[in-house]
Amino acid sequence: MDEKDFEAALSLLIDEMEGDQGDRHEILMRLRQTLDTMRAEGLPVPDDLAKLEQALAAEFEAEAKR
């Protein structure tokens, strides 16, 4: 995948989150998968998406502890 492919995939994820489509856990899983692939290929990960990944993970971790 090149950077434009990743941008398209991330844009689709963001649209799904804004439209409240799909399961939030699935969205986090897909976000992680996309960002992990970007990291593995040496591409820069946008800071806002890295923060979103961390925030969603922390939210789900807190829910699991309840």
pLDDT per residue as tens digits for the range 3-61: 888 888 888 877 777 766 567 788 888 889 989 999 999 999 989 889 989 998 998 88
Residue 62 or residue 25, greater confidence: 62
Give the count of domains, the chain.
1
CB neighbour list of residue 41: distance below 8 Å, 6 or more residues apart: 1
3-state DSSP call for residue 60?
helix
- Rounded to whole angstroms, how far apart are CA atoms 35 and 66? 28
- Domain of residue 32, residue span: 3-65
pTM (global) more than 0.85: no
Question: What is the model's pLDDT at position 21?
Answer: 55
